[in-house]
Amino acid sequence: MKKIFIYSLFLLGLEALLLAILPFLYQQFSQSLYSGVLFLIPFIAGILFLVYALLYRTENVIELNAKKKSAKLCQHLLEERQGSLKAEREELLRLINTLQTGNNVLTLPLESYQRYCPHPLSDAILRHKVLQLQKEGITCSVSAALPCTLGIEDSSLLAVLINLIDNAQQAILEAKQVDPICPVKMNIKLFCRANRLVIKVENTALHGPTIGKTTKADPGHGLGLSIIEQTCKETGGSYLAEFDQNAHLCKSTAILCLKENQPI
């Protein structure tokens, strides 16, 4: 951010200098077009270079901040998952101790400690989002046939999976507001095929998704669709969304190419 600020100051300084020498430039042009052009071209070229450098640096800073934010969220989800595993082990030890003491009254945990797949981050994301969906009264079925490791960046997996689920959740809530008795359901399926990670999400919806929508208030529940599409393309994959108007069902499929020589 400091370099961006310095570039901005340089740019503003050059613009102020240009305004200051405009009378001189006008005089040069009026006396000799050739000398005026020779003086103006390098000056404009310098300004254009600084503008390009500023935009390039700004893009890099935004991308770096996004990666840091994704890494922080991934770490939080994994720590949350680790905590749930610890709580699950403690609960199992309590149940074993209860059985060994001959007490037949067992108290099962209120929260489900279901594991969805061996892949840590995928499992953490799914568990986190399913608990959120349950609080909203949304029935969700999950099928995740994934190995322990995937040849994909954590940030890419995080961006696609979370945005797909959030987008489906928003669509369901919109449908529920219009028709309180409509079925609120979501199906999430993850699997690997031909060195590709396939993520499919089916959900109740009133509208088909619209690429480019970024806020929850927009029709078409397009939250994060542009992020999903861009992330899939960056890995060499694709994104497809279909809407069945008769069944009020939206089907989204995100395909991300995995790195070669990775176990799947």
Which of the listed residues 97, 113, 129 is the one where a domain comes to its end? 113
Q: Are residues 143 and 244 in the same domain?
A: yes
How distant, in Å, are the alpha carbons of 92, 93, 142, 209 from that of 107? 11, 12, 26, 44
In this structure, the answer to whether residues 60 and 2 fall within a common structural domain is: yes
Q: Point out which residues pair with 139 in neighbouring strands.
A: 185
Q: Are strands 238-244 and 139-145 parallel, antiparallel or unpaired?
A: unpaired
Tokens of 14: 């050059």
**Residues 6+ positions from 241 with CB-CB distance below 8 Å:** 208, 209, 225, 250, 251, 252, 253
Q: Are 131 and 213 in contact (CB under 8 A)?
A: no
**Six-digit token string for 25:** 């430039």
Is 262 within the bounds of a domain? Answer: no
Residue in the structure block whose two tokens are 């100051």: 9
Residue where one domain finishes, among candidates 74, 97, 113: 113
User: Full-prediction pTM beyond 0.95?
Assistant: no
Question: Quick one: angle between helices 154-178 and 120-135, nearest 10?
Answer: 20
Give average pLDDT by consecutive 10-residue segment, the chain, 264 residues: 62 68 63 62 71 70 71 81 72 66 55 77 91 89 93 91 93 87 88 95 83 45 76 93 88 92 52
Distance CA 169, CA 38 (A): 61
Residue 197 lies in a domain: yes
- The residue length of the chain stands at 264
46 three-class SS: helix
- Note whether 126 and 169 are same-domain residues: yes
pLDDT at 110: 46
pLDDT of the residue at 214 = 43
Do the beta carbons of residue 220 and residue 207 sit within 8 Å? yes
Same domain, 135 and 24: no
Instruction: Find the domain containing 79 and state its range.
Output: 1-113
For residue 194, being part of any structural domain is answered with yes
Q: How far apart are the first and last CA of the chain?
A: 40
pLDDT at residue number 3 = 59
From 68, 94, 113, give the residue that closes a domain.
113
CATH number (domain holding residue 195): 3.30.565.10
